[in-house]
Structure 1
Amino acid sequence: MAVVTSKARAMYPDIEPYDNGMLKVSEIHQVYYEQSGNKTGNPVIFLHWGPGGGTSPRDRTYFDPKVYRIILMDQRGAGKSTPAAELRENTTWDLVADIEKLREKLGIKRWVVFGGSWGSTLAIAYAETHPERVKALILRGIFTLRRRELLWLNQDGASSFFPDAFEDYVKPIPEAERCDLIGAFYRRLTGGDKKVELECAKAWTKWEMTISRLYVDPQYLDLVEDVNWVLQFAKIECHYIVHGGFFEKDDQLLADVDKIRHIPTTIVQGRYDIVCPMDTAWKLHRAFPEAEFHIVPDAGHSEKEPGTQSRLLDACDKYKNI
């Protein structure tokens, strides 16, 4: 039997924002936002991965700039938002409220919502809270922060596939504390010792970047050397993980999916996603059969893998004129 390898569709051309600014969302936080593409076009908001990852210029290029009004937002403490890596007043529900504040500021009635990995979590949480504001959902690498997902990623599960990388991940943690790696990392990332914080932030981030693609991507590993970025990413992500996403119950997003089943939705999931295993996407698919569901047979977690990239571009094109 011939092996079929996915080919990547080309992204849309690089473009520059026509507008950007800082939105004050609390006494502590200001979030960065930008707009590009067609000023009067179909509005779409891109919700970045992490939490704590921030946006990048590449995120604009999923969308046809002749058709879409493209909005990017750095979530609290991430990217260009200030203060950097701030954990106070930083919960899922704060971010959901920020998305609404940005929509109101920009005068948008309804928009397409795009989110991958943690972005899929936030997109679902936002849509379940404000379904009347969502035209369509584009979701990739489904993550719902159930306890089993968190233990798989950060304690025992993914380690079976990458035991070599896992050894490096746990090095900053004494053996006596390795029965609870999430808690051990959180204590150090928030303990105030800058040297220890950076050591743990690098270990935490290198682990996730190593396992994020079917084939390890050196560009992902390069992120570990960006001190400011790595502290934002590791501290904020660990903060959300140790608090279970700030959900009222473990399976809240799956349990509340009936609130969004009327919304046109496309789900894209890599078959060999080690960060967010396909089991979660499958559960969402079973609970939300109306959504278009694509399994990419030769992809891991990254949105940059050829088959995943192509499916996401197709989904964005599908909802151009919704």
Structure 2
Amino acid sequence: MSLFPFLDCRQQLYLPVGDGHQLYVEESGNPDGIPVVVLHGGPGGGSSPMQRRFFDPEQFRIILLDQRGAGQSRPLACTEHNTTADLISDLEKVRQHFDIDRWMLFGGSWGVTLALAYAVACPQRVTGMVLRGVFLCRQQDMDWLYTASGAARLFPREWQAVNAPVASLQGSLLQRYSTALGGDDAREYARHWCNWEAVLAGMMPSPAGRGSDDELCMAMQEVHYFLAGGFLDQPLLEACAGSVIPVEIVHGDRDFVCPMDQAESLHQVLPNSVLTRVAGGAHSASHPAIAQALVAAVQRLTKRITA
């Protein structure tokens, strides 16, 4: 199944959500269609026009947004008043702004973390979820990403490259980058940080230099959230276990950002979930096999929630 063609937004706006934050939000598709909100990864990854292409624009009312401190939201890369509880509250403000009673959640990577946390907090507002590249934000998941005993064993040269710029600082990799990103050369450190994740996602790293706004947002937000354990009140698997919300899980078996065991563990605790294992699939939603699986998952979930 192929992606749907690019379509223009029907409206774009900045929504004030408090604490000095304004969210960039856009709406496209059919205003009378099935509401779906897209939750980007990172934290700090920002939304993309490509994310509209997983949905039939004649069938769906598509809401994209940039979470606090990400993408086009204001202030840029801001970590103040920026927790998972804040993001859940923001989603409720967006839902109410568009006068939506219940909506489908579509999230990838950190977007899965946020989708699950929102579904725990507001289950009555969720019709179903499509979750790609499951990230549970457990300590073991962050250890896989940011310690020598995890993905570093598969990519030793790239692991050395992300460690070298902060070698003179103290603490864990997250703590060292937290210090470095607070200095004058934050954009250079952001580039190094994002290159490590790019390698794990099967993407080409960028040349050394000053990171873009997107890279700065990603680095600042990820370090901020992961040092705080994702600002989660309780482990996600424990919190969502037994939920009967219809869920489609899509996960690639070549995902080195979020290994398959996270998707397997989530599937086991959600009795109304379907897990699609994508052979050769990497982490990114733009990977061709993952993209096709996501379009199919959306269509399956649509039949399940409208039957």
Give the shorter-chain TM-score range: over 0.9
Q: Does 1:266 find its partner at 2:248?
A: yes
Structure 2 partner of 1:235 = 220
SS of equivalent to 1:281:
helix
RMSD: 1.7
Shift of residue 320, structure 1, vs aligned partner: 3.5
Name the CA distance, whole Å, in 2 between partners of 1:126 and 1:209: 27
Q: Does 1:23 find its partner at 2:15?
A: yes
Structure 2 matches for 1:201-212, cutoff 5 A? 201-212=190-201
Q: Does 1:194 find its partner at 2:187?
A: no
TM-score using structure 2 length = 0.94
Structure 1 residues without counterparts, runs of 5 or longer = 1-8
Q: Does 1:170 find its partner at 2:158?
A: no
Q: Is the contact between residue 79 and residue 224 of structure 2 (CA under 8 Å) also seen in structure 1?
A: yes
Name the CA distance, whole Å, in 1 between partners of 2:167 and 2:43: 26
Q: Structure 2: which amino acid aligns with 1:258?
A: A
Q: Does 1:275 find its partner at 2:257?
A: yes
SS of equivalent to 1:182:
helix
Shift of residue 266, structure 1, vs aligned partner: 0.3
Shift of residue 27, structure 1, vs aligned partner: 2.8
**Aligned length, in residue pairs:** 303
Q: Does 1:54 find its partner at 2:46?
A: yes
Name the CA distance, whole Å, in 2 between partners of 1:13 and 1:300: 23
Q: Does 1:113 find its partner at 2:95?
A: no
Structure 2 partner of 1:137 = 129
Name the CA distance, whole Å, in 2 between partners of 1:189 and 1:306: 34
Match of 1:78 among 70, 74, 83: 70
Match of 1:296 among 278, 281, 285: 278
Shift of residue 171, structure 1, vs aligned partner: 1.2
Deviates more, 1:302-311 or 1:33-42: 302-311
Name the CA distance, whole Å, in 2 between partners of 1:223 and 1:230: 12
Name the CA distance, whole Å, in 2 between partners of 1:47 and 1:75: 8
Structure 2 partner of 1:43 = 35
Name the CA distance, whole Å, in 1 between partners of 2:17 and 2:208: 28
Shift of residue 212, structure 1, vs aligned partner: 0.3
Q: Is the contact between residue 141 and residue 268 of structure 1 (CA under 8 Å) also seen in structure 2?
A: yes
Deviations 1:11-67 (A, max 9, x none): 100001001111111131010100001011110000001110101110111100010
Q: Structure 2: which amino acid aligns with 1:284?
A: L
SS of equivalent to 2:295:
helix
Q: Is the contact between residue 172 and residue 199 of structure 1 (CA under 8 Å) also seen in structure 2?
A: no
Q: Structure 2: which amino acid aligns with 1:253?
A: L
Name the CA distance, whole Å, in 2 between partners of 1:240 and 1:108: 29
SS of equivalent to 2:302:
coil
Q: Is the contact between residue 50 and residue 117 of structure 1 (CA under 8 Å) also seen in structure 2?
A: yes
Q: Is the contact between residue 54 and residue 79 of structure 1 (CA under 8 Å) also seen in structure 2?
A: yes
